Each structure stands twice: as structure tokens, then as C-alpha cells.
């Protein structure tokens, strides 16, 4: 099966107070502010090469407004448009958006607004394209290089998981199954990494977290130091997930949206031959928090 | 908000002082008790409590976490709400109130 989605391109996160929350995203998480228009600020990690990966929009509620996946080639957008039609999925064509070209927008069975697009203004990362150093100086806060994945909630996870598998051709890297074999939660990929998107049980349209990369154990502990120094509420970590093997810190932005620093460096690489890993329901605690071996009270009950 | 108010928690009848500008949640945690709370940003709504009497500033919170109707019924988000008078607050099982041991005068980390 060809690989047609290059990554989770951007997420739109709602903020109860844009100026306040921008301080967190820029000075603690360390994203680069690349634009601001009306009630939305556009941000990206220093190693991202397009105009933005996070839209932070002031609203009367917290949560995620949309997630957008970027296709590998322009033709892949046409390919998915045909698939949406074949599967009878109603979609809307968004001719253009801020520094972005044509997109297809539809509602997934999980209750989330999903977009597919290809064109976005190419800005390059923060390093020169010729003879670059390994990382830029003067990063603020954690200084995350890029957005990694998002995890969302769905009232009928198996239906939503099936939709992303069938219509958008995501593959399962890992799944948590009930004793009768029904998937209760799944980690889905197209990019060769353990997940671009994950789905767990919960309210329709719920936003569990968006994750940003930290790329070493040093960076993981430095991130924890920075969060604690700024008295950010840390939900869990530093720790490690059994699922994906990734290291993690869960924390909240000032509007209560959960964010994560995800250690892709500790996770495995996907390969076209990879087959799904299964976790049984009785082992969920270690699947989620490998060291604690128990779920914290907030993991499945606190999200926006 | 320069005055110190008291918060009476029902059904226990526990009376707590709330320092100026402090949230209801913060006053409860500082008293050496624990309740269930989440994001502390007014986003998730799990720290919801019900006001029986008194006035409070509701703070900034997500309309998805506390509806207008709930607010009319007296509910508020304890991580955001600050007393504007002495308060009486009704706790329910979902708040999971419990007393905890303190160390060096401080309660242990919330669970």
C-alpha cells in the first residue's frame, strides 16, 4: 500500500485567552510564532518546514477545533477526494486558508473535524539550507522541533478506528482489545512512526492531547525542568508508555488542553511489514504508563 | 479581593480559610484535604462543585465544561472560582473529598 499522508500537518487548539496562552506556547513549549490574524495565532516547531503546525484560536471553550493531515503529493489529495466520494463521506472543499492551499474538510465518526491538504507555504526550518548546524541557538523554553501526533476520544472507538483505516488508509501500529477482541483504542500510522493519530474511548469530539517531539533523554528531563520551573501542571511524567515505547510528559496548557512531549527517539520505526501489536485490557495500566503500572485518575476522565 | 473569606464544605461541615485571591480548589488542597481535579485551567470540568450560599467570581472557563444551565443551578469550577464572600459549598461523591496526612505541614502530591 502506498504511503500518501506525510504527517499530522496541523491542529487547531482552542484557547480561552489567546495572549495568556501564547506566552505558554512560545516561552514554555518554545514554538515559533509565525503569524497572527484575528483571533488565531499560527505557530510551529523550529524544525518544521511549512508555515505552521499549530493554530491557537481564542474561543469560549477549550478543546481541538480541527486536525489536518498533509498528503505526500498533490495527486494524493485527489485520490482521497475520490475515496471520500466512494465511501459516501460528505465533505466540504476549502479553497484556501491562511498560507495554505485547497483542503477537504469532513466530520469523522469520532465527532472530529478532519482536513486533508497538500499545499502550504514552504518557509524552511530555522537552520540555513546550506551547511546547517544541528540545531538553532536562542530557542525559548523546551524548544520542541515539531508536532508529532494527536490522541482524541470517541464514544464508539471501533467505528472511528475503522473509518480511519478504511477511508484514509491508516494502519494499526498497536491496539488495546477487549476480551472479545473488539478494539477499545488504537494507534494509527501512515508516516513511518508509531502513530500520527490515536483514538481512545470518551466523548465525541474530545481532545485528549497533542504531542510534540523531544529527541533525547536529556531533552526529556530538560523539558520537565522547564515545565516545573514555570509551575505548569504536569499530569504525568517524565515516564514511558508501554504502547509505542515512547517517553512522555503529559501537562496542561493554561486553558486546560493536555499537551505531551513525546520521545520518538525511544519509540520504534515503522516498516511496511510491521504488523499490529496487541495489548489486552487487563494490561492497560502498563500499556499506558509502563513504570507506574497504574493509570492515574485523570488519564481517561480529563480532556477537553 | 483583599479579604479573607471562609468556605464551609457540606456535608462534612468543614470550615476552611481562603486567602485573598485564592481559588476554592487551592484553598481545599492547602487545607490538607484532597478532591478530584484535572487540568486546573477551566477546560475539563471535573472539579465542578455546587454553591449553596455566598458569592463568587467564576473566573475564565470553557463553555463546554460548565453550561449556562449548570451555572444557574449553582455549579462552578473550583479551579477557577474565587470567593467574593463567605461560601457554603456542597460536595458530591464525584469530588472524592478526603483528608490526607501532611508532611512538614504540607499535604502530599495530589493523586
pLDDT digits (tens, 9 = 90+) for B7-25: 999 999 999 999 989 999 9
Is some CB atom of chain B closer than 8 A to the CB atom of A304? yes
Residue-level pLDDT at A272: 83
Query: Does A258 lie at the interface with B, CB-CB under 8 angstroms?
Result: yes
Q: Report the b/e string of B11-45 with b at 16+ CB within 10 A.
A: eeebebebeeebbbbbbbbebebbbbbbbbbbbbb
What's the pTM value of the predicted model, to 2 decimals? 0.95
Report the pLDDT value the prediction gives residue B102, as an integer from 0 to 100: 74
The answer to whether the complex's ipTM is over 0.85 is: yes
Q: Residue A204: its chain B contacts at CB < 8 A?
A: none
Tell me which residues of chain A, numbers 221 to 240, contact chain B at a CB-CB cutoff of 8 Å.
233, 235
pLDDT for residue A89: 98
- As annotated, the active-site residues of A are 149, 195, 209, 241, 250, 260
User: For B62-84, b where at least 16 C-beta lie within 10 A, e where not — what string?
Assistant: bebbbeeeeeeeebbbbbbbbbe
Within an 8 Å CB–CB cutoff, is residue B40 touching chain A? yes
Chain A residues with CB-CB distance to B80 below 8 A: none
Distance CA A252, CA A284 (A): 23
Residue B105: its pLDDT value, please? 72
pLDDT value at residue A269: 84
Share of chain B above pLDDT 90, in %: 81
Q: Looking at the predicted structure, is the pLDDT value of residue B109 above 70? A: no
Low-confidence ranges of chain A (pLDDT < 70): 1-2
Are A132 and A124 within 8 A, CB to CB?
no
Answer whether residue B108 shows pLDDT above 80: no
CA distance A304 to A237: 20
Q: Is the pLDDT of residue B35 over 90?
A: yes
pLDDT at A1: 61
Q: What is the mean pLDDT of chain B?
A: 92
Is B1's pLDDT higher than 60? no
A252 neighbourhood in chain B, CB within 8 Å: 38-41, 43
Q: Residue A181 and residue A31: Cα distance in Å, rounded?
A: 40
pLDDT score, position B100: 84
DSSP codes, chain A: ----EEEEEEEEEEESSHHHHHHIIIIIS-PEEEEEETTEEEEE-TT--BS-SEEEEE-SS-EEEEEEEEESSHHHHHHHHHHHHHTT--EEEE--BTTB--EEEEE-TTS-EEEEE--B-B---SS-SSS--SS-SS--TT----EEEEEEEESSHHHHHHHHHHTS--EEEEEEE-TTS-EEEEEEESSSSS-SEEEEESSTTEEEEEEEE--SHHHHHHHHHHHHHTT--EEEEEEE-SSTT-EEEEEE-TTS-EEEEEEGGGSPPP-TT---EEEEGGGHHHHH-TTT-S--TTTTT---
Amino acid at each position: 500500500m502506498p504511503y500518501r499522508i506525510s504527517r499530522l500537518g496541523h491542529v487547531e487548539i482552542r484557547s480561552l485567552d489567546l495572549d495568556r496562552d501564547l506566552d505558554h506556547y512560545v516561552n514554555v513549549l518554545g514554538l515559533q510564532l509565525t503569524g497572527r490574524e484575528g483571533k488565531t495565532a499560527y505557530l510551529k516547531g523550529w524544525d518544521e518546514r511549512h508555515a505552521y503546525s499549530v493554530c491557537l484560536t481564542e474561543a469560549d471553550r477549550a478543546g481541538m477545533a480541527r486536525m489536518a493531515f498533509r498528503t505526500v503529493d498533490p495527486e494524493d489529495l485527489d485520490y482521497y477526494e475520490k475515496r471520500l466520494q466512494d465511501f459516501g463521506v460528505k465533505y466540504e472543499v476549502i479553497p484556501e486558508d491562511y498560507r495554505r492551499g485547497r483542503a477537504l474538510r469532513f466530520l469523522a465518526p469520532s465527532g472530529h473535524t478532519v482536513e486533508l491538504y497538500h499545499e502550504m507555504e514552504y518557509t524552511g526550518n530555522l537552520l540555513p539550507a546550506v551547511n546547517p548546524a544541528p540545531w538553532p541557538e536562542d530557542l525559548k523554553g523546551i524548544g520542541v522541533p515539531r508536532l508529532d501526533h494527536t490522541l482524541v476520544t470517541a464514544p464508539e472507538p471501533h467505528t472511528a478506528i475503522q473509518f480511519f483505516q478504511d477511508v484514509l488508509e491508516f494502519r494499526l501500529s498497536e491496539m488495546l482489545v477487549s476480551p472479545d477482541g473488539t478494539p477499545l483504542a488504537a494507534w494509527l500510522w501512515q508516516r513511518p512512526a508509531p502513530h500520527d493519530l490515536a483514538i481512545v474511548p470518551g466523548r465525541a469530539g474530545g481532545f485528549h492531547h497533542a504531542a510534540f517531539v523531544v529527541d533525547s533523554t536529556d531533552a526529556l528531563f530538560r523539558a520537565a525542568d522547564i515545565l516545573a520551573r514555570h509551575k505548569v501542571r504536569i499530569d504525568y511524567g517524565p515516564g514511558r508508555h508501554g504502547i509505542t515505547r515512547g517517553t512522555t510528559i503529559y501537562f496542561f496548557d493554561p486553558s486546560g488542553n493536555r499537551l505531551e512531549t513525546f520521545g520518538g527517539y525511544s519509540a520504534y520505526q515503522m516498516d511496511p511489514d510491521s504488523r499490529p501489536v496487541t495489548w489486552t485490557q487487563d494490561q492497560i495500566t502498563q500499556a499506558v504508563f509502563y513504570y507506574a503500572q497504574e493509570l492515574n485518575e485523570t488519564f481517561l476522565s480529563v480532556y477537553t | 479581593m483583599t479579604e479573607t473569606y471562609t468556605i464551609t464544605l457540606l456535608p462534612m461541615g468543614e470550615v476552611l480559610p481562603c486567602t485573598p485571591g485564592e481559588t476554592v480548589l487551592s484553598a481545599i488542597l492547602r487545607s490538607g484535604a484532597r478532591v478530584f481535579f484535572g487540568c486546573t485551567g477551566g477546560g475539563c470540568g471535573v472539579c465542578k462543585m455546587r454553591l449553596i450560599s455566598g458569592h463568587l467570581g467564576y473566573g475564565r472557563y470553557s463553555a463546554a465544561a460548565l453550561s449556562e444551565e449548570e451555572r444557574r443551578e449553582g455549579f462552578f469550577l473550583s479551579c477557577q472560582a474565587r470567593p467574593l464572600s463567605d461560601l457554603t459549598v456542597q460536595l458530591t461523591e464525584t469530588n472524592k473529598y478526603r483528608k490526607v496526612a501532611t508532611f512538614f505541614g504540607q499535604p502530599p502530591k495530589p493523586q
